[in-house]
Amino acid sequence: MAPIVDVCGVSRTYDADRAVLSDLTLQIEAGDAVAVLGRSGSGKSTLLNLIAGLDRPTSGTVTVDGRRVDAMSETASARFRRSHIGMVHQFFHLLDDLTVRDNVLLPAQLAGVPRAEAAARAAELLDHLGVARHASAHPGTLSGGERQRVAVARALMNRPLLLLADEPTGALDSASGADVRGLLRELNAEGQTIVLVTHDLALAEACATRTVELTDGRITRDELTDGRITRDERAVCR
């Protein structure tokens, strides 16, 4: 079976000579929960943006669910993200003038999902993620952990194949961070494929089935989280 994500020989260079990623090859299978670790400037967020189609490689290819996201137009890329990729950010990116319910409904509205179907899906997600009682509230009245749960609900609204999370516990206190770690672990146990960028080792240990460490734009470690099997030799372009 083809991997959900296939990053093949990718380099990303800025300002003509500053390489953020260098000839990086990585495959991610269905059901993986991959934590991408590394110091600031190691290329973690750049890799996530390339997978999401928000950036383009200088060389190499990026394929998600059999589609070359690096070759898409901006319009096609946005449409593909809407149906295939959910994104969770460090600072939530919720719209404060909308209710929790309306924030979660927004991706479905943009995708043209029928109103009744979207409303049922939003109610299901809010209940499943433990924030249904806040459906009519505005995000600013919620705790950080609750806002991140709402952000996850919004990311899952269109049943994405892939959930991308960029430092999802970075803006949270320790209790809220533990709450989100548990949530991501549960989602992966239910079959959701997740790629998360983090400095939070506790998050990686709690949620990831696999860890990938970047140093200066190159993979320096790639293994299952129990350490039994390193996967460096698996990463070959297909």
What pLDDT is attached to residue 14?
Answer: 87
pTM: 0.92
Provide the number of structural domains found in the chain. Answer: 1
Residue 143 has pLDDT above 90, yes or no: yes
Over residues 108-132, mean pLDDT = 95
- Could you list the beta-strand ranges (E) of the chain: 5-14, 18-28, 33-37, 59-64, 67-68, 85-88, 162-166, 193-197, 210-215, 218-224
Instruction: Characterize the bridge pairing of strands 59-64 and 67-68.
Output: antiparallel
pLDDT range class, residue 226, cuts 50, 70, 90: low
Asked if the model's pLDDT at residue 16 lies above 80, the reply is: no
Position 84 pLDDT exceeds 90: yes
What is the structure's pLDDT at 85? 97
Residue 233: its pLDDT value, please? 47
Whole-number average pLDDT of the chain: 92
pLDDT band at 70 (very low <50, low <70, confident <90, very high): very high
The proportion of the chain whose per-residue pLDDT surpasses 70, expressed as a percent, equals 95
pLDDT of residue 61: 98
Least confident of 161-165, 179-183, 234-238: 234-238
Q: Is the pLDDT of residue 187 over 50?
A: yes
Give the H or E element holding residue 175: helix 174-189
Look up the domain containing 228 and give its range. 5-234
pLDDT cut 90: percent of the chain above it: 78
Burial class (CB in 10 A: 0-12, 13-18, 19+), 238: exposed
The β-bridge partners of 12 are 21
The pLDDT assigned to 8 comes to: 97
What is the distance between the alpha carbons of residues 143 and 175, in angstroms, rounded to a whole number? 11
For the residues 197-217, what does the mean pLDDT come to?
91
Report residue 231's pLDDT band, with 50, 70 and 90 as the boundaries. low
pLDDT, average across residues 182-203: 92
Provide mean pLDDT across the span 103-119. Answer: 96
Average pLDDT over residues 71-96: 94
Q: What is the pLDDT of residues 36-68, one digit of tens each?
A: 999 888 999 999 999 999 999 999 999 999 999
46: domain CATH number is: 3.40.50.300
What local confidence, expressed as pLDDT, does residue 199 receive? 86
